[in-house]
Structure 1
Amino acid sequence: MPDRVLDPPTVPIARLDRSSRPGRRVRPPERLRLTHRPALDGLRAVAVVVVLLFHGGVSWLPGGWLGVDAFFVLSGYLITTLLLAEHERTGSIRLGAFWARRARRLLPALLTVVATVLGCARWLVPPEELAALGPDALAALGYVANWRMLDRGDGYAVLTSAPSPLQHTWSLALEEQFYLLWPLLVVGALALWSARALLVGTLVAAAASAGAMALLYVPDAEPARAYYGSDTRAFGLLAGCALALVLSARRYRPGHAARRRWSPAVLAAAGVLAAALLLLDDVGPALYRGGLLLVVLAVAAVISDAEREPDGLTARLLSVPPLPRIGRVSYELYLWHWPVFLALDSQRTGLDGLMLLVARCAATIVLAELTFHFLSRPIRAGRWPRPGTVRPILTTLGATACVVIAALVLTTPPAPRPTTPDGPATALRTTGPSTLLDRPGRAPGPLRITVFGDSVAHSLAIGLPLVSGARVTNRALIGCGIARSGPVRNAARIQDPYERCPRWDAYWADGVRADRPDVALVVLARWEVLDRKLRGRWQHIGQPAYDAYLRTELARMIQVLTADGARVVLATAPYNHRYERRDGSLYPEDDPARMDAWNRMLVDTTRTHPDRVRVVDLGARLCPDGRYARDVDGIRVRSDGLHLTRGGVRDYLAPWLLPQLVGAAG
């Protein structure tokens, strides 16, 4: 993402002789001069604004995320021009000074944002997802966040968790990796070969990077490897590098007469960018198989036109106020916007749509301006680190250490109650008489209750208190419902079913034989209402073919659970608020109409098995006002929009649920 290489940006407007060799000072006819280019700030502004609008849920801008690629091209271009200018001016490149400038520009704001996120972690992140935030923070500070996103994998905890408040630092990581490696390559190439050889190598590497993206993209699968990889995204940065090498090697002077028309190449580039922003999303195969490369080339064409014609139409449009002013703080805007947008969601603010976007952008702008004026600019204007001065270095190391400690301490959740949901059954046993559970018509012994279902069932089972006279066994399969076809769309992400999920009936049958339950409690509250590919088409509950499929699976479920004589209790599903779209609206799977359809299907199932199956209205208990509720009667019952809290189960659900299970068994 955006790095402010110079503020205001400066670029060379002369040439670098392509025959530069070690030990040979070449004086081109016109030396490279660094001059202010407001148009580049303007392009930064456009890039960061479309990113903010995209993350704010503006529906007519599905390609707004491409603003990040514009930053990649800009960074590659500006960094390379600075390196070439220094080499032409002095005959060498001082790598230490270069990296110190990057640290002085990037680290203060990053440390501030990461520290703020960690300080607000327990308010911002659900408790069950808190542990992942510490490694996210360390990855952000170490500039390996893009690989952290990949290392988190595609397991259930990742695919069903909310986005990390530091997820956006993946692009910063990619750029910092570039800042570390590219200057070394430039120094080596100019010492051993020439600028022309460096250009050829850059073009070859860019083509290889774009090819790697195309090869690693898998249709109908999560494109994380192609999206986050340093190798697969490097071509954006390398395109900017190549542009800098080309413009620096050509003999030209900026035009003095303002051009009133765009060239055909610039018109084509503008058309490509407009079409990409308005039409492209981030999942289409065309995008990863050449589409992104085309966008990158279009951005490079715009930069080239603005640089070659600083008085031309492109440069003048990009220099229109307030674009240059916004561009100067684009790094801070980008850093703050993502955690702010996550914190200010519709549930916390009561806003949605345009008003939510305005509130988010206003908060982001305030924080960005404060950071820029009182932190970034003063530090950048100083001469830190000066030779022989260690205090600033120690200060930075100390600040980083404090943030690292915070990442380890503030994101450590309370020790969980030991459970083994995917291994042997977890049984909660007590002995002794119980007034609650003593009832006529049943042989002496503890009431045997087995909980079946998905992760919501698991959160219920592990939260039930130890009750004398009862044995509760947890047979929930985390990440699995009874719908076994796949893949599914979960918050717009495509996910294949876990290997065990299609065999849920075999697992449940084993549990019934092992536990011989008096009552089989079933809680299914997510997977049945997701979009699912069935017989080659995406379908969902409410469509006749999919409803018929679910009824077949429900019939199989009842057959398995009643095989040993157990009574079956089906819990209706509550409304969920697991994720929000970028504009604050719900994803389709959290639409109350889908949950209503599923609950009606559960009730219909009891009518076909009136002697063996009954329903408890868990949905109404958790949503007494007919809508999603995080707190009921002053008790936090759900923290992540889906799963149950232990305190909520113990203090609010158990006193209501256990008597109904007793009644079902009798």
Structure 2
Amino acid sequence: MAATSTAHVEPLTPQGPEAASGKHRSTAFRPDIEGLRAVAIGLVLIYHAGVDWVPGGFVGVDVFFVISGFLITSLLVREIERTGRVALAQFYARRARRLLPAAALVLVAAALMTWWLLPITQRRVFGLDIVSAAFYVVNWRLADRSVDYLAEDVAASPVQHFWSLAVEEQFYIVWPLLIIVGLLVARRFSTPLRPTLGVALALVVVPTFAWSVHQTAASPSTAFFVTSTRLWELGIGAAVAVGALWWKRLPRAFAIVLGVLGALGLAYSGFVIDAQDPWPGSLAMVPVLATAAVIIAGVSAADTGVNRLLAWRPFVWVGGISYSLYLWHWLFIVGGTAHYGELGAKRGLLLTALAFIPAWLSHKLVENPVRFSPRLARSNGLSLSLGGNLSLAAAIAGLVLCLPLVTARPTPVAADPTKPFGAAAIAADEQGAANLWKLDTADSITPAPEQATADVPDAYDRGCQVSQDSSEPVECVYGDENGDVTVALVGDSKALQWITALDEIGKERGWRVITHTKSTCAFTAADVLRDGKPYDTCNEWNDAVTALLLEQKPALVITSQNAARAAAAGSGSSAGTSEAMVAGLEERWGELSDAGITVAAIANNAAPDDEVYECVAQHPDALSTCAFEATYPTREVQSAAARATGAVVLDLSELICPGGKCPAVIGDVLVYRQGSHLTRTYVSTLTEPLHAQLVSALAATPAAPLMED
């Protein structure tokens, strides 16, 4: 989404008779490209402002990629044709002067805004985002987070928009080297430079496009961010630059039609494509080729209607500050959302309009003075040193947010070892448990709110949880690894949250506890949905895990789940039904029961509307404001299925939400981490109650021998 090289960075003198007559343009100053840049940034700003009638505004980033590929390749090719070589140090020095000062300024501003406006619980996450952005690898960090189930509740990062800058920076590092390889090949085999580069580009564009289509289908959340799925877009722009001499020979009428088609393609991309479309797969060809068409039309004929419109002075002005505007606008959106909540289109547009002020100021006072400094221009080393130091300063600003002094609240009073801890506080005062939610303070809180998202079972670090994109079962072993009795924990992350307690129970009873869990995937024979669409990898995983269990024959399968609905057969409903889920549980549990395997379902705990740990961080002296009413849709589903199959249901609701009200802190322990997930610490305090319920529930089942001492 960023414009990282401007159309008039280093003007190149047109050559040949067409240049002399002014009939054609190639890589000299192109006001129409600045205007095209204005269109791209306009799409991005309107989209981020929340204007519904431009659902495809995110394609502005694809437009920028093509422009950047065109401009950078034009500079490099013309330099070779002019001098016979590529001055790498000078190239990187120009990029450092052009890009890094403004970027470093915005990253420091993002760090200050994070400290001032954003939740204390997310300072560390966003601080590391800023560090990654400073070194232009944040796109890979965001890609990892996009498939990290534990990161789903992380708010939009204040430097999320730097992902596209990272892609372009990585392109700038690699691309000159590819051009040099092409030059060496052309010399070695005495072939013309531009055709040779065209072949080299084809060897990059074709496979990376194919990979983009594949990865978008296989893992759309990661495909959006990673460089490997975007390289072909920059490559298309590079191909336009390499073919500039051919484009100049196009008939004027053809160029006019090409420009119009390109403009229509961009309009289609902005107004018809939306965020629900897989991106950046084959559909990204529309804005990419449309942008290439507009650029080619401008190379061929200087005064085509579309390119003349793009050269309109206001468009050129906006295009000139588009880099700074892109850098600043997202901070206004994130900061405004933190302050106001849901922005709405009007407020979103106002905030993006306000971003023009710092964008213009930084363009005039930071970008241009550094970029055109005669002293820096004379010294590649000084330019690179300045850029490196500025990036380092930005990274330090991010690291400061990770310091305990900044991210943690001091504990008011040391924990009292004689005081009931966690769920023990309910057992210690069963009569008063229903009023625990009314308590506004705690002597201490474990884990601290800012550490809640890290208070998870070690199963995540061990890779036990299968990602949403995979259907391959992964087994981990807990409890007594040499135990004679095998117990399996199967389900989604709401099942896995209990492994801390089950690990201790397994060690005590000599059980070998194995896990089979997958993100957002209920253990059922029904067709599971995710975001209203068939969750195919979950359904495949379910069948594979069931086959394993029927082969392994564990004495007991323990399961839990968050989903209450599944797809009804033949209904076509994207919402699913609870009846379909009950039928699916009956069938799956029945398969196990018929094989002599007992099933115990742990009822799902209640879910808050907002992040409890963030509320606790913001209201440490008013904890009652973070409590919420308990509702249990999944518990009802599991109970219905259990009545039909003879499985047992374990219900710890009164030890999590006593009296139907869910406190944020019980016995000085923070109860919730992401969403409705329980903290590992609180689950550990439920070990004995869970053990007791297992003993009681299984006493009248074929699994009763499991409970014999």
TM range (shorter): 0.5 to 0.7
The match for 2:195 among 197, 200, 214 is: 200
* Cα separation, partners in 2 of 1:457 and 1:84, compared to 1, 3 Å: closer
Q: Which residue of 2 aligns with 1:548?
A: 583
Does 1:640 pair with 2:637? no
Q: 1:161 to 1:205 in 2, by over 3 A?
A: farther
The CA distance in 2 between the partners of 1:557 and 1:523, in whole Å, is 15
Query: For the structure 1 residues 417 and 210, does the alpha-carbon distance in structure 2 shift closer, same or farther, using more than 3 Å as the test?
Result: closer
1:106 corresponding residue in structure 2: 99
In the alignment, which of 375, 399, 407 is matched to residue 366 of structure 2? 375
Residue of structure 2 in register with 1:233 after alignment: 230
CA distance, structure 2, for counterparts of residue 179 and residue 611 of structure 1 = 60
Counterpart of 2:406 in structure 1 is none
Q: Partners of 2:378 and 2:659 in 1: how far apart?
A: 64
- Which TM-score applies when normalising by structure 2? 0.64
The CA deviation string for residues 287-331 of structure 1, in whole angstroms up to 9 with x for no partner, is 734x43453232122123345554442234224464333322322
**What CA deviation, in whole Å up to 9, does each residue of 1:514-546 have, x standing for no partner?**
7x89xx7x6522x555x7798997854327655
Which amino acid in structure 1 is aligned with residue 198 of structure 2?
L
Deviation per CA, 1:17-56, whole angstroms, max 9, x where unpaired? 99xxxxxxxx999999986443322211211222344455
In structure 2, what residue type is equivalent to 1:296? Answer: V
Q: In 2, distance between residues paired with 1:8 and 1:190?
A: 25
Q: Corresponding residue for 1:455? A: 493
Q: Secondary structure at the match of 1:425?
A: strand
Does residue 15 (structure 1) correspond to residue 15 (structure 2)? The answer is: yes
Mapped to 2, the partners of 1:355 and 1:195 lie a distance apart of 60
- Measured after TM superposition, the shift of residue 637 of structure 1 is 4.9
1:483 partner amino acid: T
The amino acid across from 2:269 in the alignment is A
- Once the 2 structures are TM-superposed, how far is the Cα of residue 157 of structure 1 from its aligned partner? 5.0
What's the secondary structure of 2:674's corresponding residue? Answer: coil
Give the equivalent residue in structure 2 for 1:601: 637
Alignment partners' CA distance in 2, 1:622 and 1:10: 69
Aligned partner of residue 530 in structure 2, secondary structure? strand
**Residue of structure 2 equivalent to 1:266:** 259
Identity %, equivalent residues: 27
Decide which structure has greater helix share: 2
Equivalent pair of 2:258/2:293 in contact (CA under 8 Å): yes
Give the superposition deviation at 1:129: 11
Q: Distance in 1 between matches of 2:341 and 2:131?
A: 33
Structure 1 654/273 Cα, relative in aligned 2: closer, same or farther at 3 Å?
same
Normalised by the size of structure 1, how large is the TM-score? 0.67
Shift of 1:96: 2.3
Whole-angstrom distance in 1 between the partners of 2:652 and 2:10:
68
Structure 2 residue matching 1:297: 3-state secondary structure: helix
Per-residue displacement from partner, 1:237-289 (whole Å, max 9, x unpaired)? 2333333344457778999xxx9x98322222223332233333577689734
Aligned AA for 1:524?
Answer: Q
Deviations 1:344-376 (A, max 9, x none): 558x63325425634663575555455434433
**What does residue range 370-519 of structure 1 map to in structure 2 within 5 Å?**
371-383=362-374, 385=376, 387=378, 393-404=384-395, 410-411=401-402, 419-420=458-459, 422=464, 423-425=476-478, 454-459=492-497, 462=500, 477=517, 479=519, 480-483=521-524, 489=530, 496-497=537-538, 502=543
Question: Aligned partner of 1:235: which letter?
Answer: W
What is the root-mean-square deviation in Å for CA atoms of aligned residues? 5.9
Name 2:345's counterpart in structure 1: 354
CA 1:417–1:91 in structure 2 vs 1: closer, same or farther (change >3 Å)? closer
Which whole-Å deviations, capped at 9, do the CAs of 1:217-249 have from their partners, x for residues lacking one? 338522468655655533332333333344457
- The answer to whether the aligner puts 1:82 opposite 2:75 as a matched pair is yes
Partner SS, residue 541 of structure 1:
coil
Q: Which region of structure 1 is more displaced relative to structure 2, 551-560 or 297-306?
A: 551-560
Q: Please, which runs of 5 or more residues in structure 1 have no aligned partner?
A: 19-26, 428-448, 579-594
Question: In 1, Cα distance between the equivalents of 2:595 and 2:367?
Answer: 64
- Give, in whole Å, the separation in 2 of the partners of 1:570 and 1:351: 33
SS, match of residue 477 in structure 2:
coil
Q: Is the 8 A contact 1:482 1:528 kept in 2?
A: no
Q: How many residues align?
A: 601
Aligned residue number for residue 434 of structure 1 = none
- For the structure 1 residues 461 and 150, does the alpha-carbon distance in structure 2 shift closer, same or farther, using more than 3 Å as the test? closer
Deviation at 1:62, TM superposition (A): 4.1
Letter in 2 for 1:378: P
Of residues 96-105 and 383-392 in structure 1, the stretch that sits farther from structure 2 once superposed is: 383-392
| Structure 2 counterpart SS, 1:424 | strand
Matched, 1:301 2:296: no
Q: Taking structure 1 as reference, are residues 166 and 110 closer, same or farther at Cα in structure 2, changes over 3 Å only?
A: same
Change over 3 Å in CA distance of 1:371–1:498 after alignment to 2:
farther
Q: What is the rounded CA distance, in whole Å, between the counterparts of 1:622 and 1:200 in structure 2?
A: 74
2:325 corresponding residue in structure 1: 333
Seen in structure 2, the aligned counterparts of structure 1 residues 57 and 230 have a Cα distance that, compared at 3 Å, is same
Question: Paired residue for 1:24?
Answer: none
- Shift, 1:206, TM fit: 4.2
Give the alignment partner of residue 604 of structure 2, picking from 545, 564, 571: 571
Residue 556 of structure 1 deviates from its aligned partner by 6.6
Task: Tell me whether 1:96 sits opposite 2:89 in the alignment.
Answer: yes
Q: Secondary structure at the match of 2:342?
A: coil
Q: Residues 210, 622 of structure 1: CA spacing in aligned structure 2 closer, same or farther, 3 A cutoff?
A: farther
Q: Secondary structure at the match of 1:496?
A: helix
2:239 to 223, 237, 242: 242
Q: Report the Cα distance in structure 2 between the residues aligned to 1:287 and 1:33, rounded to whole angstroms.
A: 29
Distance in 2 separating the partners of 1:230 and 1:613: 47
Whether the 8 Å contact between 2:526 and 2:581 is mirrored in structure 1 is no
Instruction: Give the conservation status (yes or no) of the 8 Å contact 2:492–2:560.
Output: yes
Please tell me whether the aligned partners of residues 73 and 296 of structure 1 are also in contact (alpha carbons under 8 angstroms). Answer: yes
1:603 deviation in Å? 5.3
* Superposition deviation, residue 106 in structure 1: 1.3
Separation in 1, partners of 2:276, 2:202: 21
Seen in structure 2, the aligned counterparts of structure 1 residues 14 and 163 have a Cα distance that, compared at 3 Å, is same
AA aligned to 2:74 is T
Q: Give the C-alpha shift of residue 486 in structure 1.
A: 6.6
Question: d(CA) in 2 for partners of 1:561 and 1:341?
Answer: 57
In structure 1, distance between residues paired with 2:597 and 2:80:
80
Q: Could you tell me how far 1:167 is from its partner in structure 2?
A: 5.1
Asked if residue 524 in structure 1 is aligned to residue 561 in structure 2, the reply is: yes
Relative distance call for 1:577 and 1:57 in structure 2 (3 A) is: farther
The runs of 5 or more residues in structure 2 that have no matched partner are 404-449, 465-475, 481-486, 612-630, 700-709
Q: Distance in 1 between matches of 2:568 and 2:162?
A: 33
Query: Structure 2: how far apart are the matches of 1:406 and 1:44?
Result: 30
Pairwise CA distance, 1:71: 1.0
SS in 1 for 2:494: helix
